Structure 1
Amino acid sequence: MKHSLFSVSRRAIGLLLAGALSPMTFAQTPSSDGYVLDKVVQVSRHGVRPPTESNEKLLTKVTQRQWPTWLVPLGNLTGHGYTGAVEMGRYRGAVLRHAGLIAQRCPDAKHLLVHASPLQRTKATAQALLDGMFPGCGLQPTYVAGKQDALFQANEMSFAALDAEKAKAQILKALGGSVEAAQKRYAPFEETLREVACLPDVNCAYGHEPWQLVQNEKGRFSIKGLSAGANMGEVFRLEYSQGLPLEQVAFGHARTAAEVSSLMVLTKAKYDYLNDIPYIASRGASELMNQISLALKQGTPLAPKDTTGAPPDVPLMLLVAHDTNISYLRTMLGFSWKLGDYIDNNIPPVGTLQFERYKEVKTGAYFLRIAFEAQSMDQIRDLTPLRGTAKPLSSDFKSANDCRATRVGLLCPLKDAIATVDHNIDPTALTPYRFSPMP
């Protein structure tokens, strides 16, 4: 089985790299509508992985059932996930070259920064994106030693600690007043997941546990009871995206992308009530948003005179993170999206929040496009080459009132867009930060 999985990955990578040599057609040109792309900051989620060890343990416990076996350690990027990320990197590289942002040759540290969260799945995804964008260049991402990086794990670090009472009050407000009332509203969805995951005549605890709002030793809140259903939906989506046989996806109960998403209602609820809380998001992602903001201001009249703590001024900065990070950024911006068969505001594997800065040739004015882009669930499952009409799903964000619809997307005046970016940065949740140079 292990040989079979990696054989598939090698064949798929061969097809994708062959596709990279084929001509691609894009609607945009380097100065389409008179705008030139001069800087990009993108934050990408890691690729397809098995459930984490804690999630696997929880789901096995509450369902009393054996879940599918994966061929990599729990929580690690799979070979399939690596291949899908390579293709997303190849596609993004082709788009950015067509726009004139990056050259055909291998870049150096003056042109590129790729930094990953220090977990295996994020580091490996960053490597895959680099291999797709710059094949044969031998580039490697940077990451900190240890398990915590202030950009990505701020919600677990003391400098961004939560006021527990304030956080709890906002969570309860989002829940509609109480955890008990929310659980009653979601009872039909818990019953659906129980029918999917529990075998008849087995002592299956799932769906019988009262929800309870708790805070762990790292300061993060969770809703005990909801967590199992939320993780279940995410695992079903990962099983489908990984390309597992359909009889194994959701134990044979989800044979299409739409059916998988129908089992992710509680996954969305977890984000609605824990991640998409303004106060929690601001505490957890101000450090990350601040670095994004500093990067986008570089080289413009908005750049601060004191550049201490700013990232390297490069045309392309790629940060590889987690869905939690992107959900916090989305909440801070007030950005919502609906892509294809995915549930609202879903962040699929290698889903990317993009900040693209353009300069109008005629006036010299700067504009910002903010968009979220992701492969469809079937594109990830089938490892579809992204060329021709097969492109990722995408949604643009109106970050200011005076935005312009152009061939390159929705462009908003940089000054106004940056005001939106900066609006919910909490200065008390920042810490000095410095990127390491690319190796």
Structure 2
Amino acid sequence: MNVSLSALFRVTGPLLTAALSISAPLIAHAQDNGHYVLEKAVQVSRHGVRPQTDTQKLVDATQRQWPTWLVRDGELTGHGYLAASLMGAWQAGHYRHAGLLPAGCPDNTTVYTLSSPKQRTRATAAALLDGMFPGCGQKALASTEKLDPLFQTDKMDFARIDPVIAKGEILKALGGDLQAAKARLQPDLDLLKAAACIEGKPCPFYEAEWVLKQNDEGRLKIKGLDKASSLGETFRLQYSEGKPLSEVAFGHAANAKQVMALTRLHRAKYDFVNDTPHIAKRGGSQLMNQLLLALEQGTALEKSDPLGNPPKAPLLVIVAHDTNLSHLRTLLGFHWALGEYQPGNIPPTGTLAFERYRDANSGERFIRTTFLTQSPDQIRNLTPLTGNNVPLQVDFEQPGCKKTAVGTLCPLESFASTLSKAIDRTAMTTARYP
């Protein structure tokens, strides 16, 4: 049975209030900033926990019925709302301790929050703000159009890929041959089949041939692998949602490690397609340019871009999709492996955060780039992020960066130069903010 999110939140409201009250005292875990002053922060978060986006496709792929959820396909769940709120509470505590945010409610010039038009991203933005500023009534903004050039970039004509270049890069990522790559991944296909399909009955996703195809929007996908990817991601989302283990992967995964083993083909889809340089440049340059412009605000590097500039707020919160984050991390050359997750995985509410610090002694400015996420069990158990229960996180490093009390800092000028070279300005259009 499908119910509205608002109905779910009426049920979970008391739990949310209790969770946020527990999460409030976060200062103790933070380190002394020394002489580094946090001036600006820009974060891009994936939406929170949702069901599969198309149940019928899973049924068709496996020839079996799938567990039901309390919300419609692809929409943020009540559990996902609570988990995102806990992440927001931790993030606000970090920013307050660093001096970027005041105590209490911020004014409208301090925080600007923008989300993709999708329901799951808009609801996640509301959850993050509830966690950051409970009772303050902070609002997130989103385009009223179905497609926003910042978020649905790869679906729009201005950022269409060159299929010849893209296919060449995908083939290189595959190791030169699609079927040879499939053969290498056969053990993962077998593992996924054992969890997803009924023994002795047809299993269409498993039997499907892998074919590289281009859709009407110009995007490339590996048909066959895409279904396997969706199965693994759905199993992970079932675990994150806190579903009974008898329902998670149809009872074939008893813990986070076993669940994540079923997501190896989800990782492969990103390795082979989303994370290839040409596709990332075409899909990620629009958003990356706006992030860079925001980080340069208030410095000698600040510029007026003919395609538009982001709002000037000390904290810019953007809620997007894992596709957006995969493009950004590829443009950066940022690789991570955290906890039980597969390398490079972008879990629900996983956040790519950019922080600009000023050295109070020299005046020099630096960028800290970090990826942070709740662990699988922190999301599943709605664990307040206090004390030793902090998010998993890793800092981006490149030549010229240095480790400090506030994290790995890279000089702003060299960081900006690296990003500018990675951005493809032919894959950009006017940026409009609500």
Moved beyond 3 Å, runs of 4+: 1-8, 20-24, 305-308
Q: Following superposition of structure 1 onto structure 2, how do residues 28-427 of structure 1 map, counting pairs within 5 Å? A: 28-29=31-32, 32-53=33-54, 56-304=55-303, 309-399=308-398, 401-427=399-425
Q: Within 2, Cα distance between the matches of 1:380 and 1:72?
A: 18
Pair 1:202–1:7, CA change in 2 (3 A): farther
Q: Within 1, Cα distance between the matches of 2:185 and 2:325?
A: 25
SS at match of 1:33: coil
**Partner deviation per Cα, 1:324-353 (whole Å, 9 max, x = no partner):** 000000001000001101000000000000
| Paired AA for residue 425 in structure 2 | P
| Paired AA for residue 44 in structure 1 | S
Q: Within 2, Cα distance between the matches of 1:251 and 1:142?
A: 38
Contact 2:25 2:93 in 1 (8 A): no
SS at match of 1:25: helix
For residue 184 of structure 1, report the CA deviation from its aligned partner.
1.2
Q: Within 2, Cα distance between the matches of 1:204 and 1:285?
A: 35
SS at match of 1:206: helix
| Paired AA for residue 364 in structure 1 | G
Contact 1:28 1:99 in 2 (8 A): no
Pair 1:217–1:404, CA change in 2 (3 A): same
Contact 2:30 2:97 in 1 (8 A): no
Q: Within 2, Cα distance between the matches of 1:131 and 1:160?
A: 34
SS at match of 2:66: coil
Q: Within 2, Cα distance between the matches of 1:5 and 1:243?
A: 15
Pair 1:130–1:5, CA change in 2 (3 A): closer
For residue 203 of structure 1, report the CA deviation from its aligned partner.
2.3
**Partner deviation per Cα, 1:145-188 (whole Å, 9 max, x = no partner):** 12100001110001111111111111111111121111111112
Pair 1:104–1:420, CA change in 2 (3 A): same
Counterpart pick for 1:429 among 427, 430, 434: 427
For residue 6 of structure 1, report the CA deviation from its aligned partner.
5.8
CA root-mean-square deviation: 1.7
Match of 2:18 in 1: 15
| Paired AA for residue 286 in structure 2 | E
Structure 2 residues not aligned, in runs of 5+: none
SS at match of 1:412: strand
Pair 1:11–1:136, CA change in 2 (3 A): closer
SS at match of 1:207: helix
**Partner deviation per Cα, 1:124-160 (whole Å, 9 max, x = no partner):** 0001111111111111111111210000111000111
SS at match of 1:140: coil
Structure 1 residues not aligned, in runs of 5+: none
Contact 2:49 2:241 in 1 (8 A): yes
**Partner deviation per Cα, 1:358-396 (whole Å, 9 max, x = no partner):** 000001110000000000000000000001111000010
Contact 1:12 1:383 in 2 (8 A): no
Q: Within 1, Cα distance between the matches of 2:290 and 2:108?
A: 18
Contact 1:27 1:407 in 2 (8 A): no
For residue 304 of structure 1, report the CA deviation from its aligned partner.
2.0
Q: Within 1, Cα distance between the matches of 2:198 and 2:24?
A: 49
SS at match of 2:313: coil
Question: How many residues were matched structurally?
Answer: 431
Moved more, 328-337 or 303-312: 303-312
| Paired AA for residue 398 in structure 1 | E
Contact 1:46 1:121 in 2 (8 A): yes
Q: Within 1, Cα distance between the matches of 2:219 and 2:164?
A: 12
Q: Within 2, Cα distance between the matches of 1:174 and 1:336?
A: 16
Q: Within 2, Cα distance between the matches of 1:307 and 1:179?
A: 42
For residue 14 of structure 1, report the CA deviation from its aligned partner.
2.7
For residue 2 of structure 1, report the CA deviation from its aligned partner.
8.3
TM-score calculated relative to the size of structure 1: 0.95
Q: Within 2, Cα distance between the matches of 1:215 and 1:306?
A: 33
Contact 1:117 1:149 in 2 (8 A): yes
SS at match of 2:221: strand
Moved more, 216-225 or 178-187: 178-187
Match of 2:29 in 1: 26
For residue 308 of structure 1, report the CA deviation from its aligned partner.
6.4
Q: Within 2, Cα distance between the matches of 1:412 and 1:221?
A: 34
